[in-house]
Amino acid sequence: MINDELVNKLNSIDAESLKRKDLGPLNFEEVDSTLKLFLEFLNFFIKNLSIFRQIFSQRESELESFLQNFLNFSNQISSFDVNSGDPAGQRRNLISQINSQWQNFFNSFNSHYFFILIQEGSFNKIREELNNTDQSFKKIYQEAKNTNEEVAKILNEAKTQGEETKNKINEIIEEARKFSTKDVVVKYSEIFGEQAQYHQEKTTFWWKCLAGSIVGEIVLAVILIVIYYHYFNNVGTTLSVSVAITKLFILSAGFLFIAQCVKNLNAHNHLAVINKHRANALASFKAFINSTDDPQIKDALIIQVAQSIFDPSISGYLSKEEAPNLTNIDIIKKIIDGK
């Protein structure tokens, strides 16, 4: 359960201080943008915690876990000492943990962020406007009881107010629509683009690891063959078996590393492709939404954007990719319909 103590600790964090420029070349400016995004998302959920609990109460403990991890990262950066142990290695390890934790957090809660934005930006405003309207009508009808003359006048004013309120509500809905289809889409396009770039860089790294491990395995095999024929060609059967087992063990370790390289390479290729696809879909969405004024077409485009984000994508890099029977969009529709 997220309590006031955790919220106060989060509010006390200064994102700029986490750069630790005083550490010179061992500063943390490399993950400055990641930490700021992480902090921004957490503050957003804390600000809208009541909405989050109404819709996603079963995931509050998971959100609390990510909040605790971020606070731990903040403490580690604040207390980082370049004169203790292996500072360069500790720094690399901490940066790797921060990037990994942010990736897991974003993948787990990006859809929740999107829906709370819609909830916060439109439905609450409409509900508040309707409550205010209800109070206004009560006041008008109370005053109308005084004289018959005033009744006609007040009812006329009430009708005018009703029309104005209706127009305001329509404006609020339109603003919420524009907000969700433009500002949020543009922001998510940038985020998915950054994730695609990150996985593309990791793909290059694992390509190099794969090529190096294959070359190393070949060189190692040649070296073992030369050593065997030079030193162990005429030894007894027992020693020959021992040498063969040793060679097999060494070469097997190399093959396991090659297999892991291939697995990591395919995983990052898969993530780079689907995130690039999402970024391109969202980047082109703004042009489509601006080309029409038909609300039904805009709603259809919104559904298509949601599908490009939430539905699992098949990239061709993973060996066991299957289209699910029930997509995230179907689940969301069932939640909205209350079924």
Distance separating alpha carbons of residues 104 and 264, to the nearest angstrom: 16
Query: Where is average pLDDT lowest: 17-31, 92-106, 167-181, 278-292?
Result: 167-181
Q: Is residue 187 over pLDDT 90?
A: no
Distance separating alpha carbons of residues 36 and 47, to the nearest angstrom: 16
pLDDT digits (tens, 9 = 90+) for 81-103: 888 888 888 899 999 999 999 99
Distance separating alpha carbons of residues 209 and 258, to the nearest angstrom: 8
pTM of the model: 0.39
What are the tokens at 28? Answer: 């943390």
Which helix (H) or strand (E) covers residue 3, if one does? Answer: none
Mean pLDDT across 133-144: 56
What are the tokens at 139? Answer: 């006041």
Distance separating alpha carbons of residues 59 and 52, to the nearest angstrom: 9
Confidence at residue 202, expressed as pLDDT on a 0 to 100 scale: 86
pLDDT digits (tens, 9 = 90+) for 261-277: 888 888 888 888 888 87
pLDDT digits (tens, 9 = 90+) for 216-227: 888 888 887 777
Nearest by Cα to 93 from 73, 107, 63 = 73
Confidence at residue 286, expressed as pLDDT on a 0 to 100 scale: 67
Instruction: Name residues whose C-beta falls within 8 Å of residue 189's C-beta, 6 or more positions apart in sequence.
Output: 278, 279, 282, 283, 285
> Domain-by-domain residue ranges, the chain?
4-118, 184-337
Confidence at residue 323, expressed as pLDDT on a 0 to 100 scale: 44
Phi, psi dihedral angles at 14 (to 5 degrees): -100, 115
Mean pLDDT across 147-155: 58
Q: Is residue 247 over pLDDT 90?
A: no
8 A C-beta contact, residue 111 and residue 118: no
Distance separating alpha carbons of residues 204 and 201, to the nearest angstrom: 5
Query: 29-38, 158-167, 281-290 — which one is most confidently predicted on average?
Result: 29-38
Confidence at residue 236, expressed as pLDDT on a 0 to 100 scale: 58
Q: Categorize the per-residue pLDDT at 311 as very low, low, confident or very high, splitting at 50, 70 and 90.
A: low
- Cβ of 32: how many Cβ atoms within 10 Å? 15
Query: Where is average pLDDT lowest: 34-38, 44-48, 312-316, 318-322?
Result: 318-322
Confidence at residue 278, expressed as pLDDT on a 0 to 100 scale: 76
Confidence at residue 93, expressed as pLDDT on a 0 to 100 scale: 92
Mean pLDDT across 41-51: 86
Distance separating alpha carbons of residues 231 and 247, to the nearest angstrom: 14
Percent of the chain with pLDDT over 90: 4
In the DSSP assignment, the letter for residue 329 is H
Distance separating alpha carbons of residues 189 and 308, to the nearest angstrom: 11
Mean pLDDT across 281-305: 71
Q: Categorize the per-residue pLDDT at 324 as very low, low, confident or very high, splitting at 50, 70 and 90.
A: very low
Mean pLDDT of the chain: 75
Torsion of CA 44, 331, 176, 165, to 10 degrees: -120
Q: Is residue 310 over pLDDT 70?
A: no
Mean pLDDT across 129-152: 55
Confidence at residue 220, expressed as pLDDT on a 0 to 100 scale: 80
Nearest by Cα to 52 from 102, 2, 106 = 2
Query: 103-107, 124-128, 135-139 — which one is most confidently predicted on average?
Result: 103-107
- Cβ of 107: how many Cβ atoms within 10 Å? 11
Higher pLDDT, 320 or 14: 14
